[in-house]
Amino acid sequence: MRVLFWLVGALALVLTACAPTAAPARPAPSAAPAPAASAATALPTPAARPANPEVILATTTSTQDSGLLDVLIPVFESATGYQVKPIAVGTGQALALGARGEADVVLVHAPEAEQEWMAAGNGTTRLLVMHNDFVLLGPADDPAGVRGAPSAEAGFARIAQAQAPFVSRGDDSGTHKQEQAIWQKAAFDPRGQAWYQEAGQGMGATLNIANEKRAYTLSDRGTYLARQSGLQLDIVLEGAKALLNVYHVMPVSPTKLPKVNAAGGQAFADFLVSPATQEVIGQYGADRFGQPLFVPDAGKREDEVSG
């Protein structure tokens, strides 16, 4: 925790050094941030309040349930004068909010849906932020015998064959989309089966339901680790290529949706991919869980992450 606090403090100093002192114009390419060392003995001074200070962030429940936003947002707000209003919903809902101009920036994890959203002209740019992975969870005794399955789809097939209880997000989130893709690869449609339940809720609530029912479920690793102490669910399958979980940030386009806070949305996107923020992301969770919850990816090519 001490290392993370130091990184967050350093991030605040770096961002404050280059924060705007007046209402930000539509962002131009930013110069490299000034070194934090010159302000190392001073506390960060809050930036001047922008003319349009509210930034609406539509994001996934996993970024909130993991606790990452609780670390990053206060630093961004202190350094820039913006106030972030996060709306944590499934990726499908987050993209819909952006497409209606009800959010200024979206942070989500469903690459195919993101590409369709960008192709429709809803965003200005799509920036790679970070990744972690999905894990298949189940009771410790693994009644469907998923452990040792050679792939994610093989593990899902074993659950279907055993008719073991499975709880789905069922909310058009990135996690739900990934689960559906795996069922499709397994050549099985579980909808309507007595052992298959769609929660229609976020990741944290879905984990609680699966825990109560001693059921299998698909989760992002970050949310699972953040809530593991209250669960009796084990990781029964991990590391498969189909379980990669990649996050991108996309400011909403003011060309298509002129009422959005374009400057604020772009400022938050720039913040997420800045080197200082990426360092904090890369350390987040390591002190508490023995491993970071996310891997920072800004500046990488997509194929460097997806392999």
Give the mean pLDDT per block of 10 residues along the chain (307 residues): 49 49 41 36 57 96 92 97 96 96 97 96 98 96 97 97 97 93 96 97 95 97 92 96 94 98 98 98 93 95 84
Token digits for 270? Answer: 């720039």
Question: From 3.40.50.300, 3.40.190.10, 3.40.50.970, 3.40.366.30, which CATH number describes the 2-132+246-306 domain?
Answer: 3.40.190.10
Distance CA 177, CA 183 (A): 10
Question: DSSP strand E in 21-161: where?
Answer: 54-60, 83-89, 105-108, 127-138
Query: Do the beta carbons of residue 30 and residue 275 sit within 8 Å?
Result: no
Residue 170 — φ and ψ, nearest 5°?
Answer: 60, 30
Backbone angles phi, psi at 49, to 5 degrees: -70, 125
* pTM beyond 0.85: no
H-helix or E-strand containing 251? Answer: strand 244-251
Give the DSSP H/E element, type plus range, for residue 94.
Answer: helix 91-99
Please, are residues 222 and 294 in contact by the beta-carbon 8 Å criterion? yes
Cα separation of 112 and 274, whole Å? 25
Number of H helices, E strands in the chain: 13, 10
pLDDT at 241: 87
In this prediction, residue 197 carries a pLDDT of 98
Distances (CA, A) of 54 to 18, 58, 145, 261, 284: 20, 13, 49, 8, 26
Q: How far apart are CA 245 and CA 233, in angstroms?
A: 20
What is the location of CATH 3.40.190.10 in the chain?
A: 2-132+246-306, 133-243
* pLDDT the model gives residue 119: 98
Joined together, the tokens standing for residue 17 give: 């050094």
Superfamily of domain 133-243: Periplasmic binding protein-like II (3.40.190.10)
pLDDT at position 11, please? 56
Q: What is the pLDDT of residue 41?
A: 30
* Pair 25, 261: CB distance under 8 Å: no
Q: Which stretches does DSSP call E strand in 80-221? A: 83-89, 105-108, 127-138, 166-168, 196-198, 217-220
